[in-house]
Amino acid sequence: DTAVSQTPKYLVTQMGNDKSIKCEQNLGHDTMYWYKQDSKKFLKIMFSYNNKELIINETVPNRFSPKSPDKAHLNLHINSLELGDSAVYFCASSQDGSSNQPQHFGDGTRLSIL
Amino acid sequence: DQQVKQNSPSLSVQEGRISILNCDYTNSMFDYFLWYKKYPAEGPTFLISISSIKDKNEDGRFTVFLNKSAKHLSLHIVPSQPGDSAVYFCAASALGFQKLVFGTGTRLLVSP
């Protein structure tokens, strides 16, 4: 029974396109996150939402827009995709976003820009 | 500026022996530290954590040690098993901040 699930698992698309990645968690958590793992395997936070409210936006380009329709979902929409957007994107969730709680991750979405 | 560093990209250990994975941090505001394990094509899985008020936390075969003065933590796996072969990420957070700051990972290979 998957706790944090992301779709799609793989996404291959052309530069300039717009794409979305969906994330859902069934853990009853209040806080959700998006992380990006680049080619150097460095995992870095992009956004966090607490109960549908944006908490963290880590200097991510405006082309990236997270949307949280409810606290169990946090989707990531990317406009005008660029080559540098190629990465693995991970969704995560935690109980209430307190700094002393573990975050639980999905299996990632590998985005490849041609 | 990498605030969490794992200087060993890889480690090889024989089954049954101890695996020691190291992590250094620079931000003295960090007060909660975690280790995650990651298999290929999967997301990081939470393994064990430690608060800055402790210097040791143990969970079965896994023990995390924290040395605040040296800004150093380590993960000990005893005994190591082939199924432990994965990439291990160290992460840290500061009170009041929701984000985790990750190291670049250490690939552990446990051979039979």
The secondary structure of A5-20 as a DSSP string is: EEE-SEEEE-TT--EE
Asked if A43 lies within 8 A of B102 by C-beta distance, the reply is: yes
The beta strand positions in chain A, using DSSP E, are 4-7, 10-13, 19-25, 31-37, 43-50, 53-57, 64-70, 73-78, 87-94, 104-105, 109-113
Q: Which of B37, B98, B106 to mutate to test the interface with A (most CBs of A within 10 A)?
A: B98
Asked if B104 lies within 8 A of A41 by C-beta distance, the reply is: yes
- The whole domain housing A73 covers 4-113
CA atoms within 13 A on the CB side of B17: 12
Q: What does the pLDDT read at residue A111?
A: 96
- The whole domain housing B106 covers 4-111
Cα separation, B103 vs B91, in Å, equals: 6
Q: What does the pLDDT read at residue A57?
A: 82
Cα separation, B56 vs B66, in Å, equals: 6
Maximum distance among all alpha carbons in chain B?
44
Backbone angles phi, psi at A52, to 5 degrees: 75, 5
Count CB-CB contacts under 10 A for residue B34: 23
Asked if B34 lies within 8 A of A44 by C-beta distance, the reply is: no
Q: CA of B48, closest CA in chain A: separation in Å?
A: 9
Q: Does the beta carbon of B102 lie under 8 angstroms from any beta carbon of chain A?
A: yes
Ranges of residues in chain B with a pLDDT under 50 are none
**DSSP state for residue A80 in the 8-state scheme:** S
- Mean pLDDT, chain B, rounded, equals 94
Q: What does the pLDDT read at residue A79?
A: 96
Tell me the CATH number at A27: 2.60.40.10
**DSSP state for residue B52 in the 8-state scheme:** T
Q: Does the beta carbon of B10 lie under 8 angstroms from any beta carbon of chain A?
A: no
Cα separation, B53 vs B107, in Å, equals: 28
Ranges of residues in chain A with a pLDDT under 50 are none
Q: What does the pLDDT read at residue B109?
A: 98
How many separate domains does chain B show?
A: 1
How many separate domains does chain A show?
A: 1
Q: What does the pLDDT read at residue A18?
A: 97
Give SS3 for B84.
helix
Q: CA of B1, closest CA in chain A: separation in Å?
A: 12
In angstroms and rounded to an integer, the radius of gyration of the C-alpha atoms of chain B is 13
Cα separation, A102 vs B56, in Å, equals: 17
Nearest neighbour of B98 by CB, restricted to A40, A55, A105:
A55
Cα separation, B31 vs B54, in Å, equals: 10
Tell me the CATH number at B89: 2.60.40.10
B64 in Cβ contact with B48 (< 8 Å): yes
**Chain B contact set for A56 (CB, 8 A):** 98-99
Q: What does the pLDDT read at residue B10?
A: 96
Percent of chain B past pLDDT 90, that is, above it, reads 91
